[in-house]
Amino acid sequence: MKIYLDFEPCDQCKTIMSELSDEKMMFADEKTRTDESAKFLRHLTYNHSEVVQAVLKDLPKQKRNQEFDFFK
């Protein structure tokens, strides 16, 4: 999955992005690549609220299809 983000990366973002694009990482096993990608997504989630807000704005809104009896 690819996602294109328009934001100003901090120094830590730049470091993580360079690690992710390193040739060593490109040929690493899937678990290693997944773990490093998750690390970057955690960093974005906790340190860049503008990214989270942009993603939430673009996601389709889910409608509440059913309400359970105990909510009525």
pLDDT in tens, 49-62: 888 888 888 776 66
Supply the angle between the helices 11-20 and 30-47 in degrees, to the nearest 10: 160
The region of weakest confidence among 15-24, 36-45, 58-67 is: 58-67
> Which pLDDT does position 55 carry in this prediction?
80
Give the number of other Cβ atoms within 10 Å of residue 16's Cβ: 19
Residue 1, pLDDT > 90, answer: no
Return the structure tokens found at 70: 């105990």
Q: Where residue 71 falls among pLDDT bands split at 50, 70, 90?
A: low
| CA pair distance 16, 47, nearest whole angstrom | 13
| CA pair distance 10, 24, nearest whole angstrom | 23
> Which pLDDT does position 30 carry in this prediction?
92
The chain-wide mean pLDDT, for the chain, equals: 82
